[in-house]
């Protein structure tokens, strides 16, 4: 009876030891898997960071390329930045410092910006949204034209209303329009604003999702 009991106890101890051994092995395996999983997670995290970094760099690059490609499409379209402005005016014609007549005329001034000469740069800094800077040349007067049939005069004395006055008035009006085109900044300002609006209208929707802002600067033409 004692022998049976002893043998049964031995078997129990043996079973207990086997169970402990199995648990210990299982614990070791679990630990190994846990360490392996942690390593994989760390690896995946750094891989993610690197991929993400590269992805963002690629996105910024594409952003500039897309903006440049869009600008390339409009640079040949001179009509986008050029307009003919109505410039009807009056010129006073003198003789020996005395007013001979006032001549009213209808004129047109063509002004615009050569959009083919744009330059594009990108400014990025930490903690601040990026900015695309597009530099376009200054607006220039391209042409002036008067309607010769539109000339209408107020004479200070009828003696000035001669046969040659029409030819003189045409020259005076033409010179006045050229001078006004060169000196009057308002035409150039309007042309400049129209060009800036065209560029902004095209580029802003292309880059706004990336958080970029667009600044159009006016520089010297090449």
Partner 1 sequence: MMKTPKIISIIVTCALLFGCSTKKEVKSLSKYDIQNICKIATLDLYYQNVAKGTKSPGTGLVHTFETERKFFIRYTGKVTLGVNADNVDIKIKDNEVTVTMPKAEIISEPTVDAISANDIFISPDSFLNKNEIDQDDQKKAIEIAQNEMLETAKNDSEKYDLATDRAQSLIKSFIEAVGEEIGVQYVVVFNTKDS
Residues that bind partner 1 (CB under 8 A): 33, 36-37, 40-41, 44-45, 47-48, 51-52, 55, 59, 62, 66-67, 69-70, 73-74, 77, 79-80, 83-90, 92, 102, 104, 152, 154-157, 180, 184, 186-187, 189-190, 193-194, 197-198, 200-202, 204-206, 209
Min separation Cβ 123 and partner 1, Å: 21
Task: Tell me the C-alpha distance between 10 and 64, whole Å.
Answer: 80
Cβ distance to partner 1 smaller for residue 89 or 119: 89
Min separation Cβ 171 and partner 1, Å: 19
Cβ distance to partner 1 smaller for residue 126 or 211: 211
Min separation Cβ 215 and partner 1, Å: 14
Other Cβ atoms closer than 10 A to 166:
13
How does DSSP assign 31-54, residue by residue?
Answer: HHHHHHHHHHHHHHHHHHHHHHHH
CB neighbour class for 199 (10 Å; exposed up to 12, middle 13-18, buried from 19): buried
Residue 219: its H or E element: strand 213-219
What angle separates helix 185-207 from helix 2-74, to the nearest 10 degrees? 160
Cβ distance to partner 1 smaller for residue 11 or 50: 50
Cβ distance to partner 1 smaller for residue 12 or 147: 147
Record the tokens describing residue 132, joined without a space: 């695309």
Cβ distance to partner 1 smaller for residue 17 or 61: 61
């Amino acid at each position: 009876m004692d022998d049976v009991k002893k043998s049964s106890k031995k078997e129990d101890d043996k079973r207990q030891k086997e169970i402990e051994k199995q648990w210990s092995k299982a614990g070791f395996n679990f630990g190994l898997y846990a360490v392996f999983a942690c390593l994989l997670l760390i690896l995946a995290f750094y891989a993610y960071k690197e991929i993400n970094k590269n992805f963002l760099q690629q996105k910024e690059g594409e952003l500039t390329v897309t903006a440049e490609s869009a600008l390339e499409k409009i640079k040949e379209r001179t009509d986008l930045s050029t307009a003919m402005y109505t410039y009807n005016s009056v010129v006073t014609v003198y003789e020996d410092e005395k007013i001979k007549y006032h001549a009213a005329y209808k004129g047109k001034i063509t002004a615009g910006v050569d959009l083919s000469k744009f330059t594009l740069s990108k400014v990025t800094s930490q903690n601040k949204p990026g900015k695309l800077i597009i530099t376009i040349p200054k607006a220039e007067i391209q042409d002036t034209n008067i309607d010769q049939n539109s000339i209408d005069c107020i004479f200070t004395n009828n003696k000035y209303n001669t046969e040659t006055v029409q030819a003189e008035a045409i020259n005076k009006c033409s010179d006045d329009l050229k001078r006004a085109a060169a000196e009057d900044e308002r035409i150039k300002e309007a042309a400049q604003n129209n060009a800036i609006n065209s560029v902004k209208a095209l580029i802003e929707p292309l880059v706004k999702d990336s958080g970029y802002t667009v600044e159009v600067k006016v520089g010297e033409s090449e």
